[in-house]
Chain A
Amino acid sequence: MTKVLSISKSAEDGLRELLKSLLENGRVKGVVTLRKTGEDGVISYSLITNPDDIESTLPLFPLMPVNLAKQISRLTLIEAATEPMAVVLRPCELRAFVELVKRTQGSLENILVISSTCAGVYPLEMAVKGNIGDHLPEYWKAVEQGEPIPNIRLACQACEHFVPYTADITVSLLGNKGIDKETTLFLNTEKGEAIVEGISGKSREGELDTATIGQIRSKRKAEKEKLSDEAELKSLGIDEITKTFSRCIGCRNCSAVCPACYCHVCFFQTETSQHERAYYERELEKKGCISMLPDTIFYHLVRLFHVSMSCTACGQCADVCPANIPLWAISLKMGEAVQKAFDYLPGKDMEEGLPITTFTTEEFAGVI
């Protein structure tokens, strides 16, 4: 059984209250969460140090402007957090951050991880149109009921890993019928338990409702199959791959926003990846006609090859693709296949080594 703290306020208000008291009583020096800024009320992640600023935060707003794992990596890359911090991450962001820590691109030291059972987020496109607000009543109603939410990103509609694995504190949202009146915090770790000490609320012991979670998961699974078929990605043969990437404009934005793509200089930006004129002319001689978006599929395959072990299917790549390529589906498909082969789920367990850094004498005998 896990310790549970209930605060008799709506989930978002309760979470804000927790964050505010943590800053006030000095248990953390900073909080990273979504916040409304500027005259237009743009919603961005923000590092907040003043308890009074917590009022302007929206920790549960259904938008992921950037994958926060990539940002926390940047914050803790040169040195680990020197002061205690609370960070509110979505489960996919948290998993991505754990993967980055395994790859020595950040540190969990001094970080209190707060996450939630996540219903998904709306596409960036809707933030651009500015109409997410109109959908919020429908969103929160569906969250309470544990029902699928129309218009959220396809990656989220197909997500099975909506329960955080390594959070210190989990806010129960999905299928929780009381979220407008009560904040339910699962204190999963000793750190989580210790940090809420003295914060007013009801304490009990309990578990997330596994039946509800299971139902939601099977709905998502079915949705995943359906959406994957719609993206015409039943298999990953060369025909599907060629067709999927035919619209690629070579901007590499999928790589730029990907939390798993952590190389400081991508191979495809280096001089080594650039061809000489003689190469183009040789190809031209051979083929009579060559595409001058060379190496498009090569790039995507190499990227998939590099990231698929750690891909948490966060969907950020698809969200920023100017050519509307269903990158979420291909990353998910490839990720699942690779991860299954190694019985590895990225970000599930900090102690579990990356498969390619571990050696087992008995594995893949069939392909050796």
Chain B
Amino acid sequence: MSNTRKGASLPAEGGVEKGIIDFARQALKQGGFDAVLIPSRVPTGDSFAYFLIRHEASLEGASPLPPIMPVQGARVISSITRRGKGKNRIAAVMRPCEARAVIELTKLAQVDLEDITIITTDCPGVIPLSNYFEGAAKGDKLFEDASRNWNSGPMRPVCRICDKFSASGGQDIHIGTLGTKSGSILLIPNSSKGEDILNRLGISPEEDISGWEARVNELIDQRKKERKQNNDALRADIEGIDRLVEAFSTCINCHNCMRVCPICYCRQCHFDSDKMKFSFEDYLMRAEARGGLRIPTDTLLFHIGRMLHMSLSCVSCGMCEDACPMAIPVAQIFTLVGDRNQGAFDYVPGRSVDEPLPLTTFEEHEFQEIEQSYAAVSARQENQND
């Protein structure tokens, strides 16, 4: 983040959430956008969902920083924009990991960002779905107490090691809350689209934001350390085929990790297709060859296949782990694998829509250490033939 960036302070006496809602209301009223996509409490009060809102009055039920992530926002943006153009300019208020997934889906042609403005907020994390659904009131309080002091203790494991909880890419406007003056939030334009909108709303970002930046960077450093520690500890647990088998040994093959993943966008997963259905003879042969065949079969193959397909774009949003009925630490495993794979390509998913997906680019001189030259391979074959 360059030092030349500026922000605009907005009053938020009623708390961060109310400050964001007030901004959204003002923007709707002034025609900054035609609709707001924002998490809101469901009418029964025991969960949250994204609502697309046009009437200012409906913003009353909005909850821009809900205690849980029931659905990954990038999937919602994809549902809205994947089929056809619209007339409404929509502002989407979401968490940073959701915005990064939106960027990945844009690159994968599953999102159309035209007419969409992404607004993110500094994110204290979310608590696990399983905790929240034990009792909403208890869950609300747990989250409120923890998020007020940026205590990541009760948050999901993958939130506790998140180093991209702030303006980490994809947003047109970011809302800074960490270390800002109490009773205020900081609006920071992050793209020309964001600048234009603030301009149109008569909000001029002229304030120095270095205090917020310093606090954010401090927490990023701390989280990076925690992320490394978690990755190292997990690596000791899962590295090597035997440990990997053990890590996924309780998997019931429900594929819920895949269905809630924002990056797993295939209309039909290979692992749900007829290609993965085999003849009785085949299953029996495998059982005989291996001394027993675990049922359901091919669970590890599924996870490795999924890893191969989405780890470069994995934003560590944690949906997979939250939705796993067997509490397998899928999101932490994917964070470990993702960090390594993404690091190899110096790629940060969601950082910028202009950065191409590593697998769609070709560089002549990369990964030579794992390359075999054609000459060497054919020479070896000739030797064998002799």
Interface positions of A (Cβ within 8 A of B): 29-30, 32, 35, 37-40, 42, 44-50, 53, 65-66, 68, 71, 74-83, 124, 127-128, 242-243, 246-247, 249-253, 256-257, 264-265, 269-271, 274-278, 280-281, 284-285, 288-294, 319-320, 322-324
Q: 18 A-B pairs, CB-CB below 8 angstroms?
A: A38-B245, A46-B294, A47-B287, A50-B291, A124-B252, A124-B326, A127-B250, A246-B47, A247-B47, A253-B254, A253-B259, A278-B86, A289-B53, A292-B76, A293-B50, A293-B70, A320-B252, A322-B129
Contact B254–A42 (Cβ < 8 Å): no
List B266-306 residues whose CB lies under 8 Å from chain A: 267-268, 272, 274, 277-281, 283-284, 287-288, 291-297
Chain B 62-93 interface 0/1 with A at a Cβ cutoff of 8 Å (1 = within): 00000000110000100111111111100000
B105 at the interface (CB under 8 A from A): no
**Which B positions have Cβ atoms within 8 angstroms of A?**
35, 37, 42-44, 46-47, 49-55, 57-58, 70-71, 76, 79-88, 129-130, 133-134, 245-246, 249-250, 252-256, 259-260, 267-268, 272, 274, 277-281, 283-284, 287-288, 291-297, 322-323, 325-327
* Beyond A82-B280, A246-B44, A249-B47, 19 additional pairs, beta carbon < 8 A: A35-B292, A42-B249, A44-B250, A45-B296, A46-B295, A47-B284, A53-B292, A66-B253, A68-B295, A78-B280, A246-B47, A251-B256, A264-B272, A280-B86, A288-B57, A292-B37, A320-B256, A322-B133, A324-B133
Contact B277 A78 (CB under 8 A): yes
- Write the nearest CB–CB distance from B352 to chain A, whole angstroms: 25
**Residue from B47, B84, B254, B267 in contact with A323 in the complex, judged by beta carbons closer than 8 Å:** B47
Please report the C-alpha to C-alpha distance between residue A30 and residue B283 in the assembled complex, in whole angstroms. Answer: 10
Taking the nearest CB of chain B, how far is it from the CB of A284, in angstroms?
Answer: 5
Nearest B residue (CB) for A67: B252
Could you say which residues of chain B place their CB within 8 Å of the CB of A44? 249-250, 294-295
- Nearest-neighbour CB distance to chain B for A239, whole angstroms, equals 10
Partner of B84, one of A37, A127, A264, A277: A277
| Nearest 6 CB-CB pairings of A with B | A288-B55, A289-B58, A246-B44, A292-B50, A45-B295, A320-B325
Task: Assess whether A49 is in contact with B296, with CB atoms less than 8 Å apart.
Answer: no
Residue from A83, A257, A291 within 8 A of B51 (CB atoms): A291
Determine the residue in chain A with the shortest Cβ distance to B86.
A277
Bound CA span A80–B283, Å: 12
Selected from A76, A277, A322, the residue in CB contact (under 8 A) with B280 is A76
Residues of B contacting A264 with CB < 8 Å?
272, 274
Selected from B52, B291, B296, B323, the residue in CB contact (under 8 A) with A292 is B52
In the assembled complex, the Cα of A35 lies from the Cα of B294 at a distance in Å of: 9
